[in-house]
Amino acid sequence: MSRPVRLAINGASGRMGQALLGLLKEDPAFRLDYAVVAPGSESDGASVFPGPSDALRYAHDWSQAPALDVVVDFSGPEALAAALDYCLANGTALVTGTTGIDSALEARLEGACEHIAVLRAANFSLGVTMLTRLLREAAAAFPAWDLEIVEAHHGHKQDAPSGTALALGHAAAAARNIDLATAAVYSREGRPGERVDGSIGFAVVRGGDIVGEHHALLIGKGERIELSHRATDRSVFARGALQAAQWLHGRSAGSWQLDDVL
């Protein structure tokens, strides 16, 4: 039997971090060797798995990180940048679901793919991966139909539209050979005028404890197609991220996608 994959979790005290830790406690395919939280976090220095047999404690930086196979990151742009520094310095693969990054960090991630294996996804649900495939096919088959993307998340989410909604928009735009940067419409108020042909509209809902919902509406004359995915348990994303980490271990440097895992 091969040895377990040596993992670090970046953003370990967040919702996704905690979901990952819950799964890792019971999965012999992985060994959690490091868990990073934000500086000043109340978890910093605390035991990750309280008990007499586990001495692993949360850290606030990468200075004491051991040799690792994969870093799994669900944090924020600044924390992701620090994790990327570690991965590049040590040849460690990176799985990240962090969204809302700026162009400078985007360029760094693209450059990192020349040196390490990087797998990025706005959403690690296997169902969302299938939704993206279906939307890509439908958008190409009906290029003249109007397309609207509606997403809903909990009230604590920081970025909008969600990274998943944007990824869906990019997939549909690519299928139609158009540029999302010029086709996207992110807000409508007052009297914006008639809908522009070929545009891709986005709408955002925030509230309560919604885990994640994404709906793509392709609207033609007298008919429409509605493609939807609803996540009701955050563990679906954690399971997908761990599957991605196990698959990425040992891969060559490059930019990988969840489609590759499937």
71 and 89 Cβ atoms separated by less than 8 Å: no
Note if 215 is an active site residue: no
At position 213, the amino acid (one-letter code) is: E
What distances in angstroms separate CA 25 from CA 113, 125, 178, 215, 248, one per listed residue? 30, 21, 45, 34, 20
Residue in 25, 115, 153, 170 annotated catalytic:
153
Contacts of 163 (CB under 8 A, 6+ apart): 97, 99, 100, 122, 123
Q: At 213, list the tokens.
A: 């919902």
Structural contact between residues 172 and 147, judged by C-beta atoms closer than 8 angstroms:
yes
Token look-up 């797998």 returns 119
Task: State which H helix or E strand residue 214 sits in.
Answer: strand 212-219
Rounded CA-CA distance 163/120 in Å is 11
Per-residue buried b or exposed e for 103-132, using 16+ beta carbons within 10 Å of the residue's own CB = eebeebbeebbeebbbbbbbbbbbebbebb
- Active-site entry in 156, 157, 170, 249: 157
CB atoms within 10 A of CB 50: 7
Distance of alpha carbon 253 from alpha carbon 136, whole angstroms:
27
**Is 157 an active-site residue?**
yes
Alpha helices in the chain (DSSP H): 15-24, 77-90, 103-112, 126-141, 163-175, 180-183, 235-248, 258-261
> Which residues does the annotation mark as catalytic?
153, 157
